Amino acid sequence: MTASAEPDAEVLLRVEGTLGRVTLNRPRAINALNHAMVREMDAALTAWEKDDAVRAVLIDGAGERGLCAGGDIRSIHASAREAGREAAAFWRDEYLLNARIARFAKPYVALMDGVVMGGGVGVSAHGDVRVVTERSTVGMPEATIGFVPDVGGTYLLSRAPGETGTHLALTAAPVGPGDAVYTGLADHYVPSERLPDLTDALTKAASAADVSDAVGRFAETAPAGDLAGARHWIDACYSADTAEEIVDRLRSHGDQDAARAADVIEGKSPTSVKVILAALRRARELPTLEAVLEQEYRVSCATLSSPDLVEGIRAQVIDKDRNPKWTPDRLSAVSDTHVARFFQPAPDGPLGLVDEGSRA
């Protein structure tokens, strides 16, 4: 595959040496993903997987702000206000792309420099080699907009050390490079000034071992994060069975950071908080990323009929008043029956990533 014909294309695709390169190219939107970009990436990976001249793939983002800020939230908002078909179709192809990345037959290297949120995690953190820099800010911010972590986010967070993933999901808190490595969202720390040299070395890689050697030459010890030192209150509080008890434990623990986390959670969509907790606990019991993606697709489609998704995007992205009116507006008003509705089969059926007889 040759370089994209137009320099202003939303995804730049080219082969340099033995390296297939994907550059997300919407820098003004921090390279937010739309449906066309997802389809272009999928087509490129399909071609490169069969091309013996391509030995590895690298994804990065145009501009100085980040790899990818997530999905195109404005488009999702517009779709959710209507029948939701466009959003569901986008998620279907996006999650299938996430699964393709995870099982890609050649080394898939993600340069997670700068902002990497939501859908940006989906196109990077399922790869073989995940590189963060001193500028990296990685997170799943969905609870803030009345949504639920997707793109395999609940798979990754459910497998983070202790209850750190639960903390990140319910607070929507981003992490820096040290904590990204600690929680399993990334593998290697490379200073941003060394990324051009790393990329150049990867263009000469002839094997997976060469990719590993190249990364090893430029990687350094990641700066210390905060989560490991907070495990004493994170694990004690977030291991509770219900969202209400989690908040109560955070408030009564005595640690100031725990109390602040309780305040943050109580500002999120109560429905999202309860569905997120249920999704994470279920994801822990599911055996594969594919099974979790099937669950996430069901949950995501269900949010399209929830008032909180439209309201959350309105408050954070459209009107930017940062004052969402959640329905219901408190955790105690969100019943287990209401939460269970989010896990019902999607209207257009499953993604097809697991056998129909398997429970996802």
Does 142 participate in catalysis according to the annotation?
yes
Catalytic residue among 70, 119, 120, 162: 119
Contact indicator for 120, 127 with CB cutoff of 8 Å = no
DSSP one-letter code for 55: -
- C-beta of residue 256 within 8 angstroms of C-beta of residue 263: no
Name the one residue in this structure whose structure tokens are 């109390």.
259
* Position 59, amino acid: I
Contact between 333 and 294 under an 8 Å Cβ cutoff? The reply is no
71 is catalytic: yes
Pick the catalytic residue: 142, 294, 296, 308? Answer: 142
CB 72 within 8 A of CB 120: no
Q: How many CA atoms lie within 13 A of 41 on its CB side?
A: 31
Query: b vs e for 310-343, b when ≥16 Cβ sit within 10 Å of the residue's Cβ?
Result: bbbbbbbeeeeeeebebeeeebeebeeeebeebe
One of 71, 120, 127, 152 is an active-site residue; which one? 71
DSSP H or E segment with residue 270: helix 270-285
The two structure tokens encoding residue 171: 């607070």
150, 163, 290, 296: which one is catalytic? 150
What is the rounded CA–CA span in Å between residue 309 and residue 142? 9
d(CA 156, CA 39): 23
- 150 is annotated as an active-site residue: yes
Q: Position 337: which residue type?
A: T
Residues linked to residue 115 through DSSP beta bridges, in sequence order: 66, 137
CA 85 to chain centre: 22
Q: Could you give the residue numbers annotated as active site?
A: 71, 119, 142, 150
